[in-house]
């Protein structure tokens, strides 16, 4: 493995792990559900994307001189499904807000402080 590709792989791994951490910090720290939904979406696309790209480069630059495409399948699947899950979660959360079945605690702003739905 050449020093150049090793540097690229190492940089992508650390960058991806940082994004995963930032997404989870967003999930743990942000005040209400729809803002919390925002964080992990970045963790999925940028974080896991960078790590899978690093893995693809790592296994492509080995001795066997073959290009590794397994990671791209995972990457494609995650990129397709991430917006679908986010959309469904937002829909479920709005449904629960509208029907008044959601549970809130002290860290969630009261309904009066939120923006009006329309």
CB of 113 to other proteins, least distance (A): 16
Q: Which residues bind other proteins (CB under 8 A)?
A: 6-7, 9-11, 13-14, 16-18, 20-21, 23-25, 27-28, 33, 36-37, 40, 43-44, 47-48, 51-52, 54-55, 58-59, 62, 68, 70-71, 73-74, 77-78, 81, 84-85, 88-89, 91-93, 95-96, 102-105, 108
**Rounded Cα distance, 14 and 26, in Å:** 18
Q: Which residues contact 99 (CB under 8 A, 6 or more apart)?
A: none
Q: Which residues contact 32 (CB under 8 A, 6 or more apart)?
A: 108, 109, 114
Helices then strands, counting H and E runs in the chain, come out as 5, 0
CB of 34 to other proteins, least distance (A): 9
CB of 110 to other proteins, least distance (A): 13
């Amino acid at each position: 493995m050449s020093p150049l590709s090793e540097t690229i792989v190492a940089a992508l791994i650390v960058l991806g792990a940082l994004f995963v951490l930032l997404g989870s910090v967003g999930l743990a720290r942000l005040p209400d559900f729809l803002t919390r939904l925002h964080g992990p979406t970045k963790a999925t696309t940028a974080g896991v994307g960078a790590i899978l790209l690093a893995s693809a480069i790592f296994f492509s630059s080995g001795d066997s001189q073959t290009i590794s495409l397994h990671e791209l399948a995972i990457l494609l699947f995650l990129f397709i499904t991430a917006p679908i899950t986010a959309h469904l979660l937002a829909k479920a959360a709005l449904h629960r807000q509208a029907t008044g079945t959601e549970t809130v605690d002290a860290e969630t702003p009261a309904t009066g402080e939120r923006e009006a739905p329309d």
